[in-house]
Each structure stands twice: as structure tokens, then as C-alpha cells.
Amino acid sequence: MPPSTKVCRTPIVLGIDWGSTAVRLFKNLVKEQRLELVDNRAALSKCDETRYQRGSWSGYINISGNGPVYTGDDVPSALQIPAKLILGRGKGIDSANPLLSEVERRKGDVFFERRCQEGLQEIVKAFASQLQKECESKYNPLEIVDIGLTIPAHWTLEEEGLYTSILKKAFPRSSRWNCRLKNIYFMTEIEAFAHFFFDDPDRVEQYLGDRVNNFVLLLDFGGHSMNGCIFYVRRANDRFAFIRAREPFGIVGGTAQWEAAIGEFCTNNTLSTGGFRTKVTPEVRNSLLRKFREELRMLECDSFREIELRTKSPKGYDAGSGDFWTTISANQSAKFFHDATNGPLGLAESQIKILSSLEGRCPELGARVIVSGGTAKNETVRGRLNDFCHHAHLPPPVFVHENIGSYESFNIARGAALATAGQMTLLEFMGNGAAFGIQMLQGQGNPRRLWDDKAFVVFADKDRSRRRGRSYVVKVSGADRLKIICDPFWSSNPRATQLDSNKAYDVLDLLIPDAGDWKFSLSMGPDDRSLLFEQSMILDGGRETPPPRPIILQMEFQRSSRCFLVKIDEEIDSLDRGPALKEDGTFTALTTELEQSLERKVQQRLTARQYPVDSDTYSAQSFGLSLKKVRRSDEGTESRSQKRPSGRWKPQGKRLPPFRRQYARNRPGESQPDHWQTTDRVASSSAVA
């Protein structure tokens, strides 16, 4: 029998970060557990290192109309724009923003629009051709099994669709190197950075210290936008696990916008020899902007001075020899800077205040701010962030470009490769300490519509010794709302019955059950890839109606957040604020309209039962961890002195272990239910495996 001619390929996972100035790639050799930079071998010595590091692919498109639409290198004589503006369709950017000046001037120009689309495809072809060579290598051929793409937090499914379409059109159609473009996973840029940052336990411990649990605000100040997210970080077996504590956020603005404003100023206010205003060619404009980027490195914190930009006349220039120059006053420079950074800095300040409030609410947890990105290298930006942390009584922020080492601009691509390679089964997730619970939003005496801080644990299978959870029996008023939440790192003692909603994320909304005694249970599905959920009302005599009918919750692993969510197979236009389970056992989207309908239902039932809805001296805020844009945060920006302590919990009438100071409340004229027990007739404080 002749020997097999089948080529043994090394599987890799590819991480791609399409930034404002360049495209950066990292590959993850999964079996070897090794990360490698995909170095741009075709780049020439003309790389403009005032914009991006060597090894990446230029992210600029030539819109001059002369020469190739994409060369991969700095072209001093060409008018170039960032390709990311076209890839993102200008999402979130006002038409008056200088970033879009060239695009707005050519609006409706079919030739320009076609050239932009060609530019996007040429950029993809540039790095795809190098990957193809590596996949077809005779000595160590590769096989791309998964691709992770990073996007700004404010992009939508439409931008994701365009991105995917560009990749599929531009990647070579070759079965020899078997690139599986079906396996594409999106994540926000800040989530990818989180995977990079928290992957090194020594680095994390250096910045977070000895605290086991921490809230960490990551801020990435890119050239076009600032993205960020607050994470809950937990030490686990000499490593660090993390989950989003809030939704990722993003806003347009950064040094690229500042530079674009300077470019417009140079175009309209450049003088030639003799002091005459002159028409500026792309080559002169590019040279002046390069001088500006060099000047930026010398600006001190809150120091705006008059800047003179001067360059020599290009060779062969028709207007003769001599210098071209322009002068930017200190006030004008400061205005350009503030226009470009006020939005990102304002959002960063509000998120730092939220981080401070979380620390005040959970004093056993630490709180740190970690900052990355090219705009964060600006001394003024760094000074403002230091001031924000100081006023919020937080430690100074950590700027990673000072501490990470070389190739720091590739960190997001590295994180994307790490995140996309992450795999986990539901059994492993539970074995790591995950727990699911039922959380309540009480209808009565709760005018601020705040969720309880604690949830009753219905399933936690830490050691895999038990496949069934415990039942939760509770009296509801008909105006109470329930949902399933999950703490992926539940670390309570075996006899604990509660999980803290501050450390959990939303899984499934159960809407508003009718008034009465209800029983809820959750257990592992027969295939170990799903959960079985049951709910029924308990009538007099203990009879349940309707009879418990298991609802199978198919669970899927979300690589970017490393958590399990309910997989919705039905055609739902958009999950909006997340999935909800209707009375008939079908799923629906938790839309704004449904939220409004639920609130009307609550008010109608409160009025019908003449429940008091007057002001309540008790108030609490639920800081549930969130995984989707759909999950709305109730967090405000009040100072910690304005916040009241938490402790909302069902059933009422029980004092809980103190979560700082605490209040217990009963419904007016209502006593503790007698059937607070599990189906196994054991006390509610019994162990959960």
C-alpha cells in the first residue's frame, strides 16, 4: 500500500485587529499553545513609524486617483484616508467631523466610492496572500481553523456584515490551504485587549496586588475612537478569570481626529515663499502633518503653545523653490485638541466614577484603571486621566505602553487570537464554579424599579457529583418580575443558597408570573450541552399547575466573554435587551416595546390590588454583570455618599449576612411563606454541589 500523501497541517487561530492606521495580525498555534506575530514581510523601508509600527499592514487608501489604490507603504505624494472609515461606514461620526472631510467632499462620486471598496479588498488581499504562502509551505503548512475579528464597541451588525463580506471576497479561493471563513467570530476591541492583559498572571498580579477579586476598568484610546469596559476579575488557581461587569462602550474621538483638523487647517492656511497663501498639494500636506506628529511628542501636559510647521518645496514643484509653512496658535491648537478628545475623556471620567461607586459598594474588592492606545500617549490625556482617578479616590491609572514592552500596538490582535481559540464545555464551565440563580424585581414598594441584590441558587454543579439543582419556591404578587442570572465564579461555601447579583450576568428573563406560589428548578440536560428549566404554580394541597414541563435551554459558549448564553434558534429580529421566556415556553426578544408593556402590566396589577406605591425609604441598586448590548445597566454616576446600602432579597423577613449595612423588608400584611423548601424536603440552606 503506498504511503499517504495527505499533508499534515498545523491548525492555527487567526486574530485580526483593523485599527485606524494599520491592520495587525497574530496567529495562535493552538496545539503548541504558542502565539506568533504575523509579520508583514512585504513592507518596504517607507513605513511611516510616526503612524504605526513595523510588521503591520498600512491601513490607508490612496484616493488621489493616480496610481494603485493601495501600496502597503507610505506614499508622500498621495492623498490617503484611513480605510477603517470606509469599513465602518463612518459609524458614529458626525458629518462635520474633520475625519470625514475628504469623504464628504466626494459624496455621491461613484468613482470615489468604487475606489474605496477596491481599497478595502486590496488591503485584505495583501495580508491574505502572505497567509496563503504560509499555509502552502512545504515544511510546515498551516490550516486556519478560526478567525477572530475585533470591532469598535459602537459598531452594529451592519458593519460586521460588511467586514465579513470584504473578507470573503478578498481571501483567495483555494482548497489547498483550507481557510474556514465560516468560522468567524466578532468581539469588541476592548474585550480582545482584556484577553491579552489578563492572560499573563504575573503582569496582572503586578498591577492588582494581593486582592483576590477586583473591578478593573480598561480604556483603549485609539486614534479614531475610545473603547472601554469594566470587568470583574477573580484570581483562580494562580491565574485570573474575568467577566464583563458592564457593557462595552465606545465614542468617536482621538488624536486621528486632532490630526485631521490640523490637516484641514494646513490645506486652507499654508503660505509659500514671500508670505502668499498657496494651494497645498498632498505631498506638502503630508509633510506638514508628519511635522505635527513629531511636535505632539514634545507637548507637555496642558501646555498648548504656538506651533510653526515648515517643510521644503517638493522636487519639480511648479510654484518654484522655497519653504511652505503655517502657524497654528496656542488657542487654535487647544481647540482642535479639545474638540477631538472631550468626548472620550468625558466618557472615561463618567466610567471612572462608576468604578469608584462599585468599589464603595463592594469594599472587599479592589479597583484599578488600565489604559492603552496611541491617544493615551499624549501627556495632556494622561494628565486628565490621572486627575479623574485622583478625584474618584482611586489609584493612578496604569498606562500599558510604558509597561508592556515592544509591539504594544499588536496587543488587541494578540488578544483576539487568544479569545477565539478559547473553548469550553458546559460541564467545564460548571466545574469551574459557575452557579445559576433566580433574581427578582419586586413590584410592591419599589418605585425606583430596582432588582434584588441577591438571587437564590437553583443550580451549581461544582464537583459534577449532582446533576440536579434545587427548587426555588416563592410567593409572588403578580407584579414581581424574575430572571435567571449566572455567577461564573461562584465561590461560596457548599451550604450557601445565595449568589450576589453584582458578580453575575443575565441569562434569561422570566417576565412577570401571575400572583401565587411558584416553583422554579434548573438542572443539567441529558446531552451535557443544555439546561432543563421547569416552572409551575403551586395550588392549595401542593398540586402544581401546569404540571412541570421541562424546557430545554440550549447553551452556547461566547468566546469573547467566556460565558454561556441561551442559544435562540427561532427567527428573532434582534435580541435587543436579551432573550425572554414566555408563558407558552417560547422565546421572545426583550425589546423596548416589551419592557414598556411589562411596566404597564405592573402598574395595572398594583392599582388593581391597591398596593402602596408611595415613596420608599429603602433603595438599592443591582449591578448585574452583563454580556450583551441587550442587557441594560441600571448604574448611575452618583457619588458613593449618595448611594444607600443594598440588601433587597426574597423571601422577606429574613436577615442576611451583612453586605455592608442592610435592611430587611416584608410586604405589608404578608408573612413568610411556609413552603420555603426544596423538592427534596431539605432546608433552603442545604448544600449545593
Q: Looking at the domain assignment, is residue 409 inside a domain?
A: no
Query: Please, are residues 454 and 648 in contact by the beta-carbon 8 Å criterion?
Result: yes
Answer yes or no: is pLDDT of 420 > 70.
Answer: yes
| pLDDT tens digit sequence for 98-128 | 888 888 888 888 999 999 999 999 999 999 9
| pLDDT tens digit sequence for 400-409 | 876 565 667 8
Strand stretches in 333-480, DSSP E: 366-372, 398-399, 435-441, 454-460, 472-476
Q: Looking at the domain assignment, is residue 467 inside a domain?
A: yes
Strand stretches in 8-159, DSSP E: 10-18, 22-29, 34-37, 57-58, 60-62, 80-82, 142-151
Q: What is the DSSP letter of 515?
A: S
Cα distances (Å, whole numbers) of residue 650 to 440, 442, 477, 500, 685: 7, 9, 12, 13, 14
| pLDDT tens digit sequence for 288-315 | 888 888 776 656 566 678 888 888 877 6
Answer yes or no: is pLDDT of 85 > 70.
Answer: yes
Q: Give the pLDDT score at 74.
A: 66
Within 372-471, residue ranges assigned H as helices are: 379-391, 411-421, 426-431
Closest CA to 242 of 455, 422, 456: 422
Cα distances (Å, whole numbers) of residue 487 to 192, 601, 645: 21, 29, 21
Mean model confidence pLDDT for the chain: 78
SS3 state of residue 91: coil
- pLDDT category at 459 given cuts 50, 70, 90 is very high
Q: Give the pLDDT score at 421.
A: 92
Name beta bridge partners: 228. Answer: 219, 249
- Whether residue 264 sits in one domain with residue 121: no
Q: If you average pLDDT over residues 242-259, what whole number do you get?
A: 89
Evaluate if pTM is beyond 0.75. yes
Q: Looking at the domain assignment, is residue 347 inside a domain?
A: no
- Whether residue 24 sits in one domain with residue 108: yes
- Quick one: cell of 246? 458592564
- Quick one: cell of 523? 438542572
CATH number reported for the structural domain that contains residue 81 in this entry: 3.30.420
Q: Which of the residue ranges 123-137, 353-367, 381-395, 620-634 has the most confident prediction, judged by mean pLDDT?
A: 381-395
Strand stretches in 3-133, DSSP E: 10-18, 22-29, 34-37, 57-58, 60-62, 80-82
The residue that leads in pLDDT, 293 or 144, is 144
- Whether residue 271 sits in one domain with residue 182: no
Q: Looking at the domain assignment, is residue 350 inside a domain?
A: no
Q: Give the pLDDT score at 373.
A: 86
Q: Give the pLDDT score at 511.
A: 94
Q: Looking at the domain assignment, is residue 362 inside a domain?
A: no
Which residues have a Cβ under 8 Å from the Cβ of 55 and sit 6 or more positions away?
24, 37, 39, 40, 43, 407, 410
Phi, psi of 552 (to 5 degrees): -80, 120
Query: Please, are residues 353 and 392 in contact by the beta-carbon 8 Å criterion?
Result: yes
Residue-number span of the structural domain to which 465 is assigned? 434-689
Q: Give the pLDDT score at 665.
A: 30
- Quick one: cell of 583? 408563558
- Whether residue 329 sits in one domain with residue 472: no
Query: Which residue, of 166, 188, 210, is where some domain finishes?
Result: 188
Query: Which residue, of 188, 215, 242, is where some domain finishes?
Result: 188
Q: Give the pLDDT score at 180.
A: 64
Q: Looking at the domain assignment, is residue 3 inside a domain?
A: no
- Whether residue 263 sits in one domain with residue 157: no
Strand pairing category for 10-18 and 142-151 = parallel
Instruction: Give the separation between CA 21 and CA 440, rounded to whole angstroms.
Output: 47
Q: If you average pLDDT over residues 648-654, what whole number do you get?
A: 31
CA 237, chain centre distance (Å): 25
Instruction: Give the separation between CA 607 and CA 441, rounded to whole angstroms.
Output: 17
Domain count of the chain?
Answer: 3
Q: Give the pLDDT score at 572.
A: 62
Place of cell 479592589: 366
CB atoms under 10 Å from CB of 418, counted, come to 22
Q: If you average pLDDT over residues 140-157, what whole number do you get?
A: 89
CB atoms under 10 Å from CB of 361, counted, come to 21
- pLDDT category at 571 given cuts 50, 70, 90 is low
- Whether residue 100 sits in one domain with residue 25: yes
- pLDDT category at 633 given cuts 50, 70, 90 is very low
Q: How far apart are the first and last CA of the chain?
A: 54
Radius of gyration in angstroms for the set of CA atoms belonging to the chain, rounded to a whole number: 28
> DSSP letters along 168-215, please?
HHHS---TTTT--TT-EEEEEHHHHHHHHHTT-HHHHHHHHTT-SEEE
Answer yes or no: is pLDDT of 444 > 90.
Answer: no
**Ramachandran sector of residue 176 (left: φ over 0; alpha: ψ -120 to 50; beta: rest):** alpha
Q: Give the pLDDT score at 510.
A: 94
Q: What is the DSSP letter of 541?
A: G
- Whether residue 439 sits in one domain with residue 558: yes
Q: Looking at the domain assignment, is residue 213 inside a domain?
A: no
Q: Which of the residue ranges 506-515, 606-615, 670-679 has the most confident prediction, judged by mean pLDDT?
A: 506-515
Q: Is the dihedral of CA 84, 90, 92, 95 positive or negative?
A: positive
- Whether residue 102 sits in one domain with residue 184: yes
Query: Which residue, of 298, 321, 337, is where some domain finishes?
Result: 337
Q: Looking at the domain assignment, is residue 234 inside a domain?
A: no
- Whether residue 259 sits in one domain with residue 156: no
Greatest alpha-carbon pair distance for the chain in Å reads 101
The residue that leads in pLDDT, 160 or 278, is 160
Q: Is the dihedral of CA 462, 468, 473, 477 positive or negative?
A: positive
